Amino acid sequence: MELEVGGRTVRLSNPDKIYYPEPGYTKRDVAEYYLAVAPGVLRGLRGRPTTLQRFPDGVDGESFYQKRAPKNVPEWLPTARIAFPSGRTADEVCPTEEAAVLWAANLGCLTFHPWPVRRTDTEHPDELRIDLDPQPGTDFSDAVRAALQLRPLLEEFGLTGWPKTSGGRGLHVYVPIEPRWTFTECRHAVIALGRELEHRSGGEVTTAWWKEERGARILVDYNQMARDRTIASPYSLRARPRATASAPLRWEELERVSPADFTLRTLPGRFAELGDVHAGMDEQRASLDGALELYAHQGAGDLPYPPDFPKMPGEPSRVQPSRARKRG
């Protein structure tokens, strides 16, 4: 099977292979979905080093994250060399046209994980990505409440938030910024905003890294802004039984929608009717100066990095609090 997109022909092998057994969606269905929303998904990927989350045997089979560009990458699909926290490097694909989305879908890629940088400058993010992650005892409505408190907080610091569903239970809020700050500085900005949101939320939000300290609250997962941490791109399908997708939203919709509303079957119709509701996002790039001043003013210092990171400058102990008490 061959698909035409953007003047290129993309071959789709085994189009009738089942990828989502519960609704019976095939590889062809996945490809046609991405063809329908291609302008939107490309907006989130364009020129960004992108990890491909591949499910060659569908969502019930083995999966893996492909960070290094495959050997058979088309000559028209550029790559960029990125550096991991370990110091190792890899060349990742950087989609610049819609055909790249279909090419990846043919490899069994259901979810795209772009870095918050462009291939022209892989050291300075041009997006903050604020992950509002419901912890046990909370749900999507709690994440919505946190997001609605986050919006005016961002505006106080000259920042504009763009919300989307994660495709699961949570919400992501993107903030376009000027590409002038390092990953460390961007992570500090998210920590500062998360701490302030935690303070204002009346106990509904937390920045606690250790699960034993989080409680039934919404976690601001600040480590999603660490180098080599990525989240599902807008319009990416998720490996969930009903083929939900990560859907860009308008703020006024938040209290009316559910993550289950946005699937492989429903999102193309929404896109055809409304277009990409985040189409103007890249036109607004803001300064992080205010958020970084807040971080300095708070004076609380850094928070732990993920366990696979080397020890980072200024990082507090990674010893779980309950274990630290036992040692004491």
- Spatial separation of the C-alpha atoms in residues 115 and 67, rounded to whole Å: 11
Residue 290 placed within a domain: yes
**Residues 95, 25 share a domain:** yes
CA angle 51, 13, 21 (to 5 degrees): 75
**pLDDT tens, position by position, 43-87:** 999 999 999 999 999 999 999 999 999 999 999 999 999 999 999
- The pLDDT of residue 326: 67
pTM: 0.96
Let me know whether 39 and 159 are in one domain: no
Answer for the pair 55, 63: CB distance below 8 angstroms, yes or no: yes
User: What number of other Cβ atoms are within 10 A of residue 76's Cβ?
Assistant: 12
Please indicate, yes or no, whether residues 109 and 135 belong to a single structural domain of this protein: no
Identify whether the C-beta of residue 40 lies closer than 8 Å to the C-beta of residue 248: yes
The three state secondary structure string of 49-116 is: CEEEEECCCCCCCCCEEECCCCCCCCCCCCEEEEECCCCCEEEEECCCCHHHHHHHHHCCEEEEEECC
Show pLDDT as tens, one digit a residue, over the chain (328 residues): 999 999 999 999 999 999 999 999 999 999 999 999 999 999 999 999 999 999 999 999 999 999 999 999 999 999 999 999 999 999 999 999 999 999 999 999 999 999 999 999 999 999 999 999 999 999 999 999 999 999 999 999 999 999 999 999 999 999 999 999 999 999 999 999 999 999 999 999 999 999 999 999 999 999 999 999 999 999 999 999 999 999 999 999 999 999 999 999 999 999 999 999 999 999 989 999 999 999 999 999 999 999 999 999 999 988 888 777 666 5
Domain of 182?
A: 127-229+284-304
d(CA 124, CA 133): 25
Residue 314 lies in a domain: no
At residue 284, the pLDDT reads 85
From 122, 141, 170, the end of a domain falls on 122
In this structure, are 156 and 8 located in the same domain?
Answer: no
**CATH number reported for the structural domain that contains residue 96 in this entry:** 3.90.920.10
Domain co-membership, 157 together with 91: no
Domain count, the chain: 2
pLDDT digits (tens, 9 = 90+) for 256-286: 999 999 999 999 999 999 999 999 999 989 9
Locate tokens 């302030």: which residue? 196
The reported pLDDT for the residue numbered 260 is 98
Q: Classify residue 178 by its DSSP letter.
A: -
CA-wise closest residue to 301 among 156, 210, 195, 217: 195
264 located within any domain: no
Find the CATH number of the domain harbouring 200: 3.30.70.3300
